[in-house]
Amino acid sequence: MANDYYAVLGVSRDASADEIKRAYRRLARELHPDVNDDPNTQERFKEVAAAYEVLSDPDKRQMFDMGADPRAPRGGGGPGPGAGFGFDFTDIMDAFFGGQQRGPRTRTRRGQDALVRVEVQLQEAVFGAERELQLETAVRCPTCDGSCCAPGTSPLICDICNGRGSVQVMQRSLLGQVMTARQCSQCQGYGQTLPTPCAECSGEGRVLARRNVKVRIVAGVDTGTRIQLSGQAEAGPGGGPNGDLYVEVIVLPHEVFERHGGDLHARLKVPMTAAALGTTLELDTLDGLREVTLDSGTQSGQTVRIAGLGVPPLHGRGRGDIVVHIEVETPTRLEGKQRELMEEIARLRGEESVAPKLAPVVEPNKIFTKIKDVLTGR
């Protein structure tokens, strides 16, 4: 077996630990028997594993740099520790799966995020509001304060794994003896045991409870807007930090106004006489009563804008407009004097008989198609 472990891995003698690990991963992917079925690669793979075993250990590497081989037989009594094919199998797992965190697990973990939906009125979306939400979620255990232990007690180092969270097991395989690491069955990988778990939370460090959370509805929100409340979701196990609460806004339909971006649209029905003569009306807006002036001769389909009474942008200044769509009402019944006066108006305007004029009907969504056809020459 080759003695120059640096040459085996193809790295320089001053290579860093990361460079040595990357070289080993690359060679292990090429030479592992499960990947390469060439019989000649087994010995080469053993050389690579032995070289990595020495160079990845600072003490063994220092010994090798001083001229000694830490894997050489000792005192004629057979191979020393790690000789042959008795390397740690977790190094192979690192090579193929990108490395795993070694050491005991932690009981302290961050709580999960949560999402709740809140329905708001249009007025609240325009001006903003404050809501108080009642949540049923995990909170830190008031008895043990997240320590998972009964008051007056503390965790103990596991006497099986000595706090490592895992135990080493030697197994035989077609490749020889392989050392594998398994989770300690006594401490479940935590490296510590709870001699007296907290009775209230059963050693979880958190309990289920109801609590109130205040959320500020920012002016300008729309359906689908999410508001993040950091640290307001469930508490983490083992006294871990809380997750984040996300509040998704749903704006309820309004009986008068329909929102389109920053503008509020409404329909106004006016009598035929008011449209013909012109008038000034008071409209009830979200900001109170406002006057709207209709010019004489106003037609159905025309719009009137009331500036600055719409919805503000979520992040910005100003507000949109209120867009009033005019609908002129034609009387359905004329009796007595009303009919006589209407006939007189028709006579004065020369409209006793009407010559029909037909025009093509263009659907609104086809207007842009016609413009596009003109621009493209179709």
The residue ranges of every structural domain in the chain are 5-97, 105-149+202-252, 156-193, 258-376
pLDDT at 99 over 60: no
pLDDT at 90 over 60: no
Q: Which CATH class is domain 5-97?
A: mainly alpha
Residues 6+ apart with CB under 8 A from 235: 111, 137, 138, 139, 140, 146, 205, 206, 241, 242
The fold of 105-149+202-252 is HSP40/DNAj peptide-binding domain (2.60.260)
pLDDT on residue 102: 57
pLDDT on residue 33: 66
CA dihedral 330, 334, 338, 341 (to 10 degrees): 70
User: Quick one: which H or E segment has residue 313?
Assistant: none
Distance CA 195, CA 155 (A): 7
- How many degrees, rounded to 5, is the angle at CA 219 between CA 115 and CA 215? 40
Query: How much is the CA Rg of the chain, to the nearest whole Å?
Result: 40
The whole-model pTM stands at 0.62
Distance CA 264, CA 269 (A): 17
- Per-residue pLDDT, averaged over 121-128, amounts to 96
pLDDT, tens digit, 9 for 90 and up, residues 222-271: 999 999 999 999 999 999 999 999 999 999 999 999 999 999 999 999 99
pLDDT at 1 over 70: no
pLDDT, tens digit, 9 for 90 and up, residues 303-317: 999 999 999 999 888
When pLDDT is cut at 50, 70 and 90, the band that residue 129 belongs to is very high
105-149+202-252 and 258-376: identical CATH topology:
yes
When pLDDT is cut at 50, 70 and 90, the band that residue 93 belongs to is very low
pLDDT on residue 354: 72
Computed over every residue of the chain, the mean pLDDT equals 83
When pLDDT is cut at 50, 70 and 90, the band that residue 100 belongs to is very low
Distance CA 201, CA 188 (A): 18
pLDDT on residue 110: 93
Tell me: domain 258-376, CATH 1.10.357.10, correct?
no
Per mean pLDDT, which of 3-12, 33-42, 70-79 is the most reliable? 3-12
- Please state, as a whole number, how many other Cβ atoms lie within 10 Å of the Cβ of residue 233: 23
